[in-house]
């Protein structure tokens, strides 16, 4: 047996997130079904993290164990042919037998895309949160600077979190404007349930003047979810990169 690290990308619109669940089709289930057909047996696939329903990934990493008779080049081509058009395989390589897609990850980078326009765009509606009012990048970036560092992000997570330790280190957080889009990027050693989407919702509240940027530390220290902004909708969120 050998352990294979898969790097995939997917449009999450049609899926109920990454992890297999009884109430809807997921990315993990779809990829596992393709692997079962390719390998001729039951395959266990372990992902680097969970993504919510409707969230996308440009680079999602997962690992599996398979028979050594499958060379990497044939494996990559065969699996890609069995996957639907909204999931693709970007790379497949052998890793040490004790490698773990989740626990070996040193960090992840997410990007959230906002269409800041009074007009809709049919080609972006599945991949952005449209906000018609003008956003203030100066205020948003002042808030982003307060997010950087090691903090207890309990106030920036939803009740569905499955971990007790809510301390995370944000290494980078900033927003840029590209035409009529605002893109917020954040890199951290790990993320809590809905953490990025709540950070984005709070950034928008800061832009609107409902929350002051320097109040961020007070929100973090309060551990009170009600003091942060709304949870931004899922379709604007992309997992951009997993760092090993």
Distances (CA, A) of 11 to 104, 126, 202, 220: 25, 9, 25, 32
How many Å separate Cα 210 from the centre of its chain? 26
Tell me the C-alpha distance between 230 and 232, whole Å: 6
Q: First-to-last CA distance in the chain?
A: 23
Catalytic residues: 52
Tell me the C-alpha distance between 16 and 24, whole Å: 6
What single DSSP character describes residue 12? Answer: G
Tell me the C-alpha distance between 236 and 127, whole Å: 5
The shares of helix, strand and coil residues in the chain, as percent rounded to the nearest 5, are: 30, 30, 40
């Amino acid at each position: 047996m050998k352990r294979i690290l898969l790097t995939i990308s997917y449009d999450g619109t049609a899926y109920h997130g990454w992890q297999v669940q009884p109430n809807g089709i997921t990315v993990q289930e779809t990829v596992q079904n393709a692997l079962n057909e390719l390998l001729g047996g039951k395959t266990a696939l372990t992902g680097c993290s969970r993504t919510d329903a409707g969230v996308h990934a440009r680079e999602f990493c997962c690992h599996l164990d398979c028979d050594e008779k499958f060379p990497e080049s044939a494996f990559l081509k065969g699996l890609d042919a069995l996957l639907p058009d909204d999931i693709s395989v970007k790379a497949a390589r052998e890793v040490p037998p004790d490698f773990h897609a989740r626990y070996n990850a040193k960090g992840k980078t997410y990007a959230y895309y906002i269409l800041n326009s009074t007009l809709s765009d049919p080609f972006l509606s599945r991949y952005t949160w449209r906000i018609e009012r003008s956003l203030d990048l100066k205020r948003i970036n002042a808030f982003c600077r307060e997010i950087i560092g090691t903090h207890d992000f309990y106030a920036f997570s939803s009740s569905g979190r499955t971990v007790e330790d809510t301390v995370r280190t944000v290494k980078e957080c900033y927003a840029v404007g590209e035409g009529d889009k605002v893109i917020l990027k954040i890199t951290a050693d790990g993320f809590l349930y809905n953490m990025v989407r709540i950070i984005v919702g709070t950034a928008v509240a800061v832009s609107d003047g409902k929350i002051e940027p320097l109040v961020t530390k007070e929100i973090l220290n309060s551990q009170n979810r009600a003091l942060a902004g709304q949870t931004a909708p899922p379709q604007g969120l992309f997992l951009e990169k997993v760092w090993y």
